Amino acid sequence: MMLKFRILFFLLFVSFVCKAQQDSISLSKHIDFLIYLNDNGQLDDLNYQGDKLLLNKYYNNDQKDSLNFILGMINYRASKHSQSLHYLKEVTDSSIFYYKSKFYSGICQTEFHEYDSAFATIANLPTGDVELLSQLKTYELAAFSLLKRDYLGYDSLALKFNSDDSLLHSEQIILNDNQQKLRNLKRRSPLVAGTLSAIIPGLGLAYSGNNGQALAAFIRVAALGALTIEDYIKLGPENPQFIIFGSLFSFFYIGNIWGSALSVKIRYDEKIKEIDHNVMVGLRIPIDHFFR
Amino acid sequence: MSWWVCGFLLIISLDKSSASSFREADSLFSAGLYHDAQIAYEFIAFENQDNELIIANALLKKANCLKAENHSDKVFQTLSRCKIDKLDDSLKANIYFEQSLSAFNAGNFNIARKTIEPLLSLNTNREMDLASVFLCSLILDELGEWAISKNNLISYLNRDTTISQSLKDSLKNNISLIYNPDLYPRLKKIKKARLLSMILPGSGQLYSGKPWKGVVAFGLVALSGAYVYYDIVSELYLAAAVGFYLGETFYVGNVNQVNAIIIKRNQHKIDHFNVVNKSELSQFYKKISHL
C-alpha cells in the first residue's frame, strides 16, 4: 500500500514538473524565436512578443537586460531608432551588454538631434583602466561636442586623443578634419551674391558654389533679355509683345538676384548638413568595430 | 483508478504536439486576441521549421488573424513565405485563394489574376472550386476581360456534377444575360487616340469623349503655330524660336494627355458595368453554393 502511494506521488510530481517546464519555455528559445521573427521580416510581431516577454515576472534582471539588448539591437539594425532607444535605455549597469547598449543609445539619440542627451549618456559611463574603451568614450564625446557646435568642449576632448588602435586613430583624424572644415566654413555674403547676379545674371550663384544653376540662370535671363531687345528694336517700346517679354525678363532678372542671395544660406546649410552626416557616420564605425 | 488518473495527467503534461499548440492558438483567436494568436501561430511555424505542411497551416491561420485585424495588406506577404511546391493541392489552393483575395482587395488585379490562375488547375473540393471560379471572374471583370470571365463560369457549370442539367441550362442563360456582349462598355483605344492627336491636335481628346479638352489642345497648338508664323514674317527670329518651343511643348502635351483621359474614362466605364455585374454574380454564387 505504502509503495503504491509513493509511486503515485512520484508520478504526480513528475507530471506537474513537466507541465511547469512546458509553460515556461526557456529564454534562449524565446530569443531564437525573436531572431526567427526578425529573419522573416516580422518586426511588429517581434516587438510585440518582446514587450510581452519583458513583462514576464519569472525572468530575472539579467534575462530582461539580455532581452532589452537583443530587441534594441534588432531595431537598431532595422533603422527603427526610436524603438531601439526605448529598449537599449532599459539595459542596467549590471549587464554585460551595458556598455554596448549605452554607446548605441548615444547613436540613436543623435538620430533625433538629441546631442545633449547623447553626451550625457556616454559621459556618465565609467571606463576604469580599459584604455581603448576610454579612448572610444573620448572620441564619441568629442563627436557629440562637434554636433552641438561646442568647439571648446571639443578642443579639450581632442587633446586626449591618443589611441593605439589604428581604426580609432584614423577616425580621430577624420573627426579632426571635419572639425576644421566646420570651423573654416564661412557663410558668404548674400549682399555680394545679389550684387554679382545683378551685374551678370547667375554670377551670384557661382559665387555661392552652385555652378550648374549659375549657367542655367544665365541662359534663361540672357535669352529673355535678347528677346526683349529684339522686340524693342523691331517693334518699338509700345508693342504688347515687347511689354510681355520685357515683363518676363524683369521677373526672371529680379528672381535671379533674389535666388542668388538665398542660395548663399541654402548652400551653407547643405555643407553643414554634409559635415554633420560625416560625423554621424564616423560615430558608428569605431563602435561597430570595438563591439564586434 | 488512481493509476488511470496519473496516466491521464502525464499524457496532458507531455502533450507538446503541434495539434495542441494549434488548439491554444485557436483559442486565442476565438477570444479575439488576434495579435497574441498571430504570435502563437508564428511560434508553431518556428518550432516546425522542417515541416512545410505545419508552417503553411500556421501561416494560413495567421493570415486569418491579419484579416480579422483589418491588415489584409499583410496577408499576401505572410503567405509568400509558404513553400508552395511542397504542399498538397488543398493547402496550395487555400494559399493561392487567400493571396489572390488579398491582392484583389488591395486593387492589384493583375497580381490577383496571376495568383488565382494556378489555383484553377488544382484538384480541389467543390466549395474551393466554386469560390475560386467566382473570385477569378470578379478579377477578370475588373480587368475588362468579360468574355474570359463568362467562359470561366460556363466551364465551371459544365464540370459541376451536383447541378441538374435543367438548372445548368437556366444558369447558363443567366450568365449569357449578364455577359451580353451588346452591354459591354465600349472601351476607347489608347493607340488610336494618340495617333489621332498626332495627326490633328485635339482630335484624340474628341475621340476620348472630352471635346472641350480637344478644343483647348487644338487652340494652344494652333495659336503657337500662328505666333511662330507671325514672328517669322516680322523677322523676329528669337521670338519665333520661343514660339516654336512652346508649340512643341503643347503638341507633345496634347498627345500625352489622351493617355490619362482614356485610362480614367475606361476605368469609369468598367467600374459602372461591374457594379451591376457584381450584384448579379453574388446572387448567382449564393444560388449555386447552397446546392
**B:42-81 residues touching chain A, CB 8 A cutoff:** 42-43, 46, 49, 77, 81
Q: Return d(Cα B182, Cα B273) in angstroms, integer.
A: 12
- Long-range contact set of residues B275-278: C-beta below 8 Å, sequence gap at least 24: B277/B141, B277/B178, B277/B179, B278/B138, B278/B141
Which pLDDT belongs to residue A23?
44
Which pLDDT belongs to residue A271?
93
Helix residue ranges, H only, A185-210: 190-199, 203-207
Nearest CA-CA distance, residue A252 and chain B, Å: 16
B chain contacts of residue A234, beta-carbon cutoff 8 Å? 234-236
Task: List pLDDT tens digits, range B27-72.
Answer: 999 999 999 999 999 999 999 999 999 999 999 999 999 999 888 8
State the DSSP H helix or E strand holding residue B283, giving kind and residue range, or none if neither: helix B237-289
Q: Which residues of A28-63 are buried (b: 16+ CB within 10 A; e: fewer)?
A: eebbebbebbbebebeebbbbbbeebeeeeebeeeb
Task: List pLDDT tens digits, range B133-156.
Answer: 999 999 999 998 999 999 999 999
Half-sphere exposure in the Cβ direction for A117 (13 Å, CA): 13
B74 and B99 Cβ atoms separated by less than 8 Å: no
pTM (predicted TM-score): 0.74
Q: Which one is predicted more confidently, B276 or A275?
A: A275
B157 and B178 Cβ atoms separated by less than 8 Å: no
* Cβ contact B9–A234 (<8 Å): no
Backbone region of residue A113 per phi and psi (left: phi > 0; alpha: psi in -120 to 50; beta: other values): left
SS3 B25: helix
Quick check: A188 pLDDT over 50?
yes
Please compute the mean of the pLDDT values over residues A269-289 and round it to a whole number.
Answer: 93
B258 and B208 Cβ atoms separated by less than 8 Å: yes
Task: List pLDDT tens digits, range A112-170.
Answer: 999 999 999 999 888 877 888 899 999 999 999 999 999 999 999 999 888 778 888 89
Lowest mean pLDDT segment, chosen from A166-175, A202-211, B280-289: B280-289
How many angstroms from the chain centroid is the CA of residue A101?
A: 16
CB pairs under 8 A between A and B: 64
Ramachandran angles phi, psi of A286, nearest 5° = -70, -30
* Closest Cβ opposite residue A234 in set B49, B77, B235: B235
Nearest CA-CA distance, residue B133 and chain A, Å: 32
Quick check: A3 pLDDT over 80?
no
Complex prediction ipTM: 0.73
Which pLDDT belongs to residue A8?
57
Instruction: Tell whether B39 is within 8 A of chain A (Cβ).
Output: yes
Please compute the mean of the pLDDT values over residues B190-206 and round it to a whole number.
Answer: 95
